[in-house]
């Protein structure tokens, strides 16, 4: 083996990793926020729509879920500008891609949650004279949210990890920072050990925070 | 434009064969490793359980891309030299193994404890209990998520293109480098990946329905 660990160069360039982690989180938060809007709107639409709309939404979901994320990232960044007259940065391009990607996964989560809302609750809402909008806002969405929270947490964490794919179009997030240090200092094992720890700590911190939210949510009802 | 793409088709087909080959290797190797480690996690002595638990949680906690770079650049640094193809297969297999461990844990965990106790009561050894009582019942819980997870292996295999391995993804990028027909080729690639993975997920759904009638 004969490999001596030396972390000095990693600490000297740690700003690349720290800044990278913050950017990873930023990419994840913005994309997930847009993804939640896409997911909610399409899921609510799906459960009350006719056959045509349903198949269009299903086509979007199935297409995104069955194609590698890296291909979608390339397609939006390198492919799309050749056919439409748009100019955007790599970062914007990645956020757009991950938003569409997370939207597809979240439609599925929200849809199965909405379908799991007990019929009796909706009927009870009707019985006390709530309008369809009020039933959606005060009965179906809160119950759906409670049902889907565990699945939502897992999806969020997995989307946070997916931000690493942004490195392939040179968005300077955490994985890109790791590669930069890898190629410029050759402290390869060290940098990936540190980056592994950073992803793990952030991921589990997120998971812990989301579990707390879940518990509060359950206690509140 | 179509002529250029038609010209590139044999090259793309070769890349597609590499994608399928990588996926197949990863799926088979991770099935073997994952089932063994999963049994270790459920039935093993405490130290072994800890090792498997830490392995699984660490691997599943980092992006697959980081794992690929770690294995590809890290192994030569500590004196282990693997061809880039095998480094990629190793990294993807480690990732998939962690998933298989969790599928197995979930499937075995869903079998009521009484089944194991009854098997013990009639004098079956540990191996016999697994082979005749636990695995046949756990199988129908294991199969649908596992097949569904095969699509992850096919999608994950696209990342090996970053190590210069000419799989479908890399072949597409190379053809684009020559022809500048980015959009048609990415769409063609998306359609191919979609066809394979959609077929797999349909199979998994069908199996799930097939097995659902015996659910307690």
Residues in chain A: 221
The ranges of chain A with pLDDT < 50 are none
Higher-confidence position of B189 and A217: B189
On chain A, the residues whose CB falls within 8 A of the CB of B62 are: 161, 195-196, 199-200, 203
ipTM: 0.90
Q: Distance between CA atoms of A27 and B63, rounded to whole angstroms? A: 15
Helix, strand counts (H, E) of chain A: 10, 0
Residue in A with minimal Cα distance to B168: A71
Q: Which of these, B156, B159, B146, lies nearest to B200 by C-alpha position?
A: B146
How much is the CA Rg of chain B, to the nearest whole Å?
21
Q: Do B189 and A66 touch (CB under 8 A)?
A: no
Confidence band of B1 (pLDDT split at 50, 70, 90): low
Q: How do residues A149-189 score in pLDDT, each as one tens digit?
A: 989 999 999 999 999 999 999 999 999 999 999 999 888 89
CATH topology of domain A8-220: MetI-like fold (1.10.3720)
- pLDDT above 80 for B213: no
Q: How do residues B35-83 score in pLDDT, each as one tens digit?
A: 999 999 999 999 999 999 999 999 999 999 999 999 999 998 888 888 9
Q: Distance between CA atoms of A193 and A88, rounded to whole angstroms? A: 34
Q: How do residues B130-160 score in pLDDT, each as one tens digit?
A: 999 999 999 888 988 888 889 999 999 999 9
Burial class (CB in 10 A: 0-12, 13-18, 19+), A206: middle
State the pLDDT at residue B73. 93
State the pLDDT at residue B206. 85
% of chain B beyond a pLDDT of 90: 73
- pLDDT above 90 for B179: no
Domain ranges of chain B: 2-212
Domain B2-212, classified CATH 1.10.150.120, yes or no: no
Q: Do A72 and B156 touch (CB under 8 A)?
A: no
């Amino acid at each position: 083996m004969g490999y001596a660990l030396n972390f000095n160069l990693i600490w000297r360039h740690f700003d690349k990793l720290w800044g990278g982690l913050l950017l990873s989180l930023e990419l994840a938060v913005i994309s997930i926020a847009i993804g939640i809007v896409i997911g909610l709107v399409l899921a609510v639409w799906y459960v009350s729509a006719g056959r045509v709309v349903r198949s269009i939404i299903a086509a979007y979901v199935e297409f995104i879920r069955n194609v590698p994320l890296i291909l979608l990232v390339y397609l939006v960044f390198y492919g799309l500008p050749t056919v439409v007259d748009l100019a955007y940065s790599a970062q914007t391009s990645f956020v757009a891609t991950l938003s569409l990607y997370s939207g597809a996964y979240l439609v599925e989560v929200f849809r199965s949650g909405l379908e799991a809302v007990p019929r009796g609750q909706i009927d009870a809402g009707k019985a006390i004279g709530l309008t369809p909008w009020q039933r959606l806002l005060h009965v179906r969405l809160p119950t759906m949210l409670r049902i889907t929270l565990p699945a939502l947490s897992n999806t969020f964490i997995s989307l946070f990890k997916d931000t690493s794919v942004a490195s392939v179009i040179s968005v300077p997030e955490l994985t890109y920072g790791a590669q930069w240090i890898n190629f410029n200092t050759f402290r390869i094992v060290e940098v990936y050990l540190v980056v592994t720890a950073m992803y793990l700590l952030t991921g589990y911190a997120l998971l812990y925070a989301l579990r707390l939210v879940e518990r509060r949510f359950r206690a509140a009802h | 434009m179509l002529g250029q793409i038609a010209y590139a088709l044999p090259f793309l087909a070769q890349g597609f064969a590499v994608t399928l080959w990588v996926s197949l290797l990863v799926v088979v190797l991770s099935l073997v490793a994952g089932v063994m480690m999963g049994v270790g996690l459920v039935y093993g002595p405490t130290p072994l359980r800890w090792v498997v638990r830490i392995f699984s949680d660490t691997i599943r906690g980092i992006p697959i891309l980081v794992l690929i770079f770690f294995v590809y650049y890290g192994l030569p640094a500590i004196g282990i030299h693997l061809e880039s193809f095998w480094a990629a297969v190793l990294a993807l297999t480690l990732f998939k193994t962690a998933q298989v461990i969790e599928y197995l844990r979930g499937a075995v965990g869903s079998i009521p404890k009484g089944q194991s106790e009854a098997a013990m009561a009639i004098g079956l050894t540990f191996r016999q209990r697994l082979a005749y009582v636990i695995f046949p019942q756990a199988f129908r819980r294991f199969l649908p998520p596992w097949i569904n997870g095969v699509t992850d292996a096919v999608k994950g295999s696209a990342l090996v293109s970053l190590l210069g391995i000419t799989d479908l993804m890399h072949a597409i990028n190379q053809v684009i480098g020559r022809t500048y027909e980015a959009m048609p080729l990415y769409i063609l690639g998306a359609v191919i990946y979609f066809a394979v993975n959609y077929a797999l997920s349909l199979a998994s759904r069908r199996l799930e329905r097939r097995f659902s009638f015996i659910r307690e």
